Amino acid sequence: MFKKSVKKKIHLFMRKPVKGIHFSTENFYSELFKNFNDKNFEIKFKTCPLISRGILNRIYLSFWAFFNQGSINHICGDINFISIFMNNNKTINTFLDFYSMRRLKGLKKLIYYIFWIKIPFFKSRKVITISNNIFNQLKNLIKVKNKKNIHIIGVSISSNFKKKIKKKFSKNPKILVVGTAINKNIKNIILSLKNIECNLVLVGKLNSEIIQELIKNKINYKNLVSINKRKLIKEYIDSDMLLFPSSYEGFGVPILEAQSVGRPVITSKFQPMRNVAGNAAIFVNPVKISEISKAVKVIINNQKLRKSLIQKGFNNIKRFKKEIILKEHLKVYNKIINNL
């Protein structure tokens, strides 16, 4: 009799959701492996039982991860520290971004570097970076000797983001902003819209300083916190454009989400946003308020350009099809299994 082959268990470790914070990456991996069926692999999602906050929580999570290992352990999201006790030969770390290396100072920065970057890197059989930009930053942070173990794999988006071209551009356009962290450049967005008749939709938690800026500059706005995927998609459909002039991103998922629905995009001219958006966006310097303001006005007043950006957006998202991204991940998993 033939012995039935046992599927290898791929454990995907992800952050516990935090109210008011939108984790694009968790949504990406959930969608990527939705209805996954493969003769070699079985996917199991391992969501952290605690929020990654504080020393005690993180120590607990590191031991929890150790006792929940699979044939392959793929750490997704900003919890790379949990790989500290894992089997080196079976672990993959995905690095999303290194923004904390800019934001943190002194001892906190050193701790982050050691436990979120250095140890996870050397504890990994394979490493995935989500853009060329993150790959280059990783090379600068760690003296990488063997680049063969680092794989650059982009992000795909949910198939629920479907083409829905807006028949009529709003008189007072609805401008969508996804994410409210400091790198999202919210203050400059507000100042750029000061003299533009529009309705601003901000997805993410706002602090008191930003709320005061909105009031001071007389911006008509709506703030949405902790919305689900269905509601987020509706906001894209209801919007007239996406405004995404981030100062820093690991990838820039909202760019693709907006392009999939059929909305013109304004984003930063810096990498990786420029590469992700392709030729289907207006690019601005995020620190120059006048550039952001001018780009918004161009979108409002130039119907021909809007149509062109929308069509180019549909072409651009073909590069990030789920099937392509999934295939690249399976290649990495197979390389580990074949070398065990």
pLDDT in tens, 238-271: 999 999 999 999 899 999 999 999 999 999 999 9
Nearest in space to 276 (alpha carbons), one of 147, 133, 176:
133
> C-alpha distances in angstroms, 70 versus 7, 10, 35, 37, 84?
11, 6, 20, 17, 15
Query: Do the two domains 8-156+321-338 and 174-319 of this chain adopt the same fold?
Result: yes
Q: Which residue is associated with the tokens 């996917």?
A: 43
The superfamily (CATH) of domain 174-319 is: Glycogen Phosphorylase B; (3.40.50.2000)
The whole-chain average pLDDT of the chain stands at 92
**What are the domain boundaries of the chain?**
8-156+321-338, 174-319
Angle at CA 323, nearest 5°, toward 5 and 154?
110
The confidence band for 23, taking pLDDT boundaries of 50, 70 and 90, is: low
Q: Are 93 and 127 in contact (CB under 8 A)?
A: yes
Separation between Cα atoms, residue 140 and residue 249, nearest integer Å? 17
State the Cα torsion 183-79-271-225 to the nearest 10°.
-40
Q: Work out whether the CA dihedral 94, 124, 44, 62 comes out positive or negative.
A: negative
Strands 174-178 and 241-244: parallel
Q: How far is CA 197 from CA 1, 175, 218, 284, in A?
A: 74, 11, 10, 20
Amino acid found at 214? L
Work out the end-to-end distance of the chain between its first and last CA atoms, rounded to an integer number of angstroms.
26
- What's the pTM value of the predicted model, to 2 decimals? 0.87
What is the tens place of the pLDDT at every residue in 172-201? 999 999 999 999 999 999 999 999 999 999
CATH of domain 8-156+321-338: 3.40.50.2000
136-144 — which CB contacts under 8 Å span 24+ positions? 137/98, 138/95, 138/98, 141/98, 141/101, 141/113, 141/117, 142/117, 142/118
Q: Confidence class of residue 28 from pLDDT cuts 50, 70 and 90?
A: confident
Gap between the Cα atoms of 213 and 198, Å rounded: 16
